[in-house]
Amino acid sequence: MSFRALVLTQGADRKVSGAIETLEDDRLPAGDVTVAVEYSTLNYKDGLVLTSGGGLVKSWPHVGGIDFAGTVERSDNPAFTPGDKVVLNGWRVGELHWGGYATKARVKGDWLVKLPSPLSTRHAMAIGTAGYTSMLCVMALRKHGVLPESGEVLVTGAAGGVGSIAVAILARLGYQVVAATGRPQEAAYLQSLGAATIIDRKELTEAPDRPLLSERYAGVVDTVSGVMLARALAQVKYGGAAAVCGLAGGPSFPGSILPFILRGVTMYGIDSVMLPKAPREEAWRHLGTELPLDRLDSTVTEAGLGELMALAPKILKGEIRGRVVIDVN
Ligand code: NDP
């Protein structure tokens, strides 16, 4: 029994090279469930792994891909039987454990989520970690009490993977979505996802450097951090909230405590990687019912394993629109 995989190696200069190889099944890592992978996807973190390792990979050769969806082929875990459609996001798969850029993956069954209908394995990867993370952000805002009638919700990095799906979900739920992008040419795309207003990211980055600005947003989904997050927080309305998940603009942000202590603003940190199983399943249940699948399709570009090495630098430069689904077969 064998499988095909994009096998990564790291040179002395730390540069990563990739080649598609056929490997015997005994090369698969330890785990109690073997999955015939149908689709994977490309996330920002995958871009790091495919170009430099990003300090995320500890041993080489390596198979990347932090997400995959497929059909259970073999299971020693009572929760799964062959034929189950499953999705995997995170758990450091594709970093410390071989991931989804292969036709087979072997993982701990505890990491897998059964795919809710009506989602196909392709839908699951159109969603991927990006879409699942955007749902976690939306869940945090809703639990806080940010409702469609509360006012506008800002999404930063809106034309990216997390941002695009956050726009589509929020619009579907009836929110007035303000999409902040550095790519004004993507305005029509963002409107087609349901954004009510598009703003140039400069409106945030070039806003006055003050801890409090006029109150505008009931909620924020932030994928960028940096100055954008600081200026967004300064515009959150009294009692509002920001769900922060990304660092496309760098990990630090020049923020002030004032929005928190003078306007009662709350900031929710969103982690998709090590999140326990119950909230994961909750997020996937919501994705099965609250994500407009026709809009999701418009965010997708499809590619094969052989195109990943060329796509990786592009996602790091913010040049990818929406989601890239990888057909591994
Ligand atoms: P993408 O590259 O698809 O999207 C990021 C978007 O951010 C870009 O499309 C661009 O949007 C904007 N952007 C990029 N660079 C800059 C910059 N220098 N300044 C301002 N805006 C910038 O990545 P993803 O959507 O997949 O991921 C977004 C972030 O979320 C990443 O940092 C990723 O690591 C993180 N993430 C975190 C997760 C978690 O569990 N916390 C899970 C998944 C992702 P535009 O062109 O519209 O301006």
Nearest CA to ligand 1 atom 10: 157
CATH 3.90.180.10 range(s) for the chain read 2-115+299-327
**pTM for the predicted model, two decimal places:** 0.94
Q: What is the number of helices (H) and of strands (E) in the chain?
A: 10, 16
CATH 3.40.50.720 range(s) for the chain read 129-269
CATH topology of domain 129-269: Rossmann fold (3.40.50)
Tell how strand 113-114 and strand 153-156 pair up: unpaired
Counting ligand 1 atoms within 8 A of each CB, the residue from 40, 41, 162, 274 with the most, and so the one to mutate, is 162
Helix (H) or strand (E) holding 266, with range, is: strand 266-269
Encode pLDDT of 60-77 as tens digits: 999 999 999 999 999 999
89 C-beta closer than 6 A to ligand 1: no
159 C-beta closer than 6 A to ligand 1: yes
* Residues whose CB is less than 8 angstroms from the CB of residue 172 and which lie 6 or more positions away in sequence, other chains included: 194, 290, 291, 292, 295
How much is the pLDDT for 38? 98
Region label for 54, one of left (φ > 0), alpha (ψ between -120 and 50) or beta (otherwise)? left
Q: What is the mean pLDDT of each run of 10 residues along the chain (329 residues)?
A: 97 94 97 98 95 94 98 98 97 97 98 94 95 97 98 97 95 98 95 97 97 98 98 98 96 96 98 95 95 87 97 93 94
What's 2-115+299-327's CATH class? alpha beta
Encode pLDDT of 211-244 as tens digits: 999 999 999 999 999 999 999 999 999 999 999 9
